[in-house]
Amino acid sequence: MIFAPAMGSLAETMANAEFARERAMPKPITLVLPYPPSVNTYWRHLSKGPLAGRTLISERGRDFRKAVAETLLVERIRKAPEGNLAVTIEARMPDKRKRDLDNIPKAVLDALTHCGFWVDDSLIDDLRVWRSDRTGGEVIVTVEPFVRAGRLL
């Protein structure tokens, strides 16, 4: 006697595997953060006094870190998903002046690292920054597991 599997069993198996993977996949985390200071104002290089020659985070940088920590606390967001990450930053500029997009991620990623949101921003394998048509002086940060060719890394 020859056994023939029921029609559609392969499709059902694949659908069940997809469903299980989607259930196991953490949902993206979206954070609304204040607009960060640029890299040019985030750091201060000291040239005089006992700390001469050192580079420190400026007062604006420390204030930004504090605001990010408060946002995570108020929103009750503890940790990013484990493993490699994909991060998207939607930049809503504070005004109509021209601004460089590449000045935005450093302060955002460092503040999230400092708050313990993730172990280190070296876990980010996919980083995208885009300028929104909307203004408002904030950044919308979406964090999710990094998936390459259908594989969760």
For the chain, give the percent of residues with pLDDT over 70.
Answer: 80
Tokens representing 79 are: 């940790």
Q: Is the pLDDT of residue 96 over 70?
A: yes
Is the CB of residue 57 less than 8 Å from the CB of residue 37?
no
pLDDT at 22: 52
DSSP notation for 53-72: T-EEE-HHHHHHHHHHHHHH
Is the CB of residue 103 less than 8 Å from the CB of residue 109?
no
Residue type, 129: V
* Average pLDDT over all residues of the chain: 86
Among the residues of the chain, which ranges form H helices? 9-24, 39-42, 59-74, 105-114
Is the CB of residue 26 less than 8 Å from the CB of residue 81?
yes
pLDDT at 49: 85
Positive or negative, the CA dihedral 65, 61, 136, 92 is negative
Lowest mean pLDDT among 2-11, 59-68, 100-109, 133-142: 2-11
pTM for the complete prediction? 0.78
Q: In which band, very low, low, confident or very high, does the pLDDT at 26 lie, cut at 50, 70 and 90?
A: confident
Taken in order of first residue, the domains within the chain and their CATH numbers are 27-152 (3.30.1330.70)
Instruction: Using alpha carbons, select from 85, 95, 99 the residue that is nearest to residue 130.
Output: 99
pLDDT at 52: 82
Is the CB of residue 38 less than 8 Å from the CB of residue 98?
no
Q: Which residues pair with 76 in a beta bridge?
A: none
pLDDT at 146: 93
The Cβ-side half-sphere exposure at 21, using a 13 Å CA radius, reads 12
Lowest mean pLDDT among 8-12, 78-82, 110-114, 124-128: 8-12
User: What is the tens place of the pLDDT at every residue in 37-86?
Assistant: 988 888 888 888 888 888 888 999 999 999 999 999 999 988 999 899 99
Instruction: Using alpha carbons, select from 83, 97, 56, 103 the residue that is nearest to residue 151.
Output: 83
- Residue scoring higher pLDDT (109 or 39): 109
